[in-house]
Amino acid sequence: MKQRLITGMGYVAALVAFFLLKIYLPYPWNFLSFDVLLWLFSVVGTYEMLRALGGKMTAAERVIVLLFSVFYIPAYDVSVYAVHYDRLSVMGVSFFLVSLVLFALLVVQYEKTSLESVGCSLLACVYPTLFVGTIVLCNHLTEYSALALLFVFVISPCADSLAYVFGISLGRKFPRKMSPHISPKKTVVGCVGGIVGGVLGALVLFFLYHLAVGDALPYENLWIYLLIGAGASLFTEFGDLVESAVKRKEGIKDMGNILPGHGGILDRIDGTMYAAVFVYAVFYILIGINIL
């Protein structure tokens, strides 16, 4: 427990340090500095996926997947800031190109490459690199990027914490399992607790963010915060189940051991990556229709 607490504090300290760099460095280094942290998540997370699935992939496929994780975020930054390509287009084109290369191996290395190995390779490109890429999109929003990142990295732990508290305190009275074949310890009442945690986290963000930036509290926007909190918490819990399903399919307890007491990077950010998908989608829509 002590080791888990120390590791968790170190993780939070790293997040805070990189977030402060984003706030105080000049443009564009403020955006690029936080990308460094996300790049580390992508590369280390991909290594963990290769560790879990590598036996089902060829050596060439493992190299391609790892190179994709190494170059995706730097290529994204160059494309957006030097060439001024559309952000979503960069993500789509990148995945299309790596897919072409992986499918080409079916011809170039026909004897070694199987449809299963290509499928595992594509999975390892999407999870985690493209999911982390969604956090990159949040980081590079033209407006409210700092707030979007706060939602991503605050709502998920709030949801996890309250889900755990509700599950421990009420699980015996309401024992119905959420997904018994994937994660027998997760209960429906824990899921409800996660939503409560996400909403409470969003409520705190509403007050702290607007007090920090010196704005008058726009209470007409409070419902947006609560909606994002509830939605992001649901995506967080679904992301936890996806990770649990991968580990159960592969017969492993943790994705890695880089974070003592927590496991691997993917064990730490599994729900966060899914929450980022929801947060980015909401911010993209609301900014586009000028509600935020």
What pLDDT is attached to residue 194? 95
CA-only gyration radius of the chain, Å: 20
Mean of pLDDT values over 216-235: 92
Condensed to tens digits (0 to 9), the pLDDT of residues 38-67 reads: 999 999 999 999 999 878 999 999 999 999
Model confidence over 79-136: pLDDT tens digits? 888 777 778 888 889 999 999 999 999 999 999 999 999 999 999 999 999 999 999 9
The residue count of the chain comes to 292
Which residue has 């824990």 as its token pair? Answer: 190
Q: What's the mean pLDDT when you consider all of the chain?
A: 91
Q: Which residue has the higher pLDDT, 85 or 158?
A: 158
Q: Could you give the CA distance from residue 2 to residue 118 in angstroms, rounded to a whole number?
A: 41
pLDDT of residue 8: 82
What's the sign of the alpha-carbon dihedral 157, 268, 61, 118?
Answer: negative
> Domain map of the chain by residue range?
1-140, 144-292
What is the average per-residue pLDDT within 136-162?
94
Instruction: Return the pLDDT at 238.
Output: 95
Contacts for 212 with CB less than 8 Å, ≥ 6 apart = none
Which residues have CB under 8 Å from 13's CB, separation 6+?
none
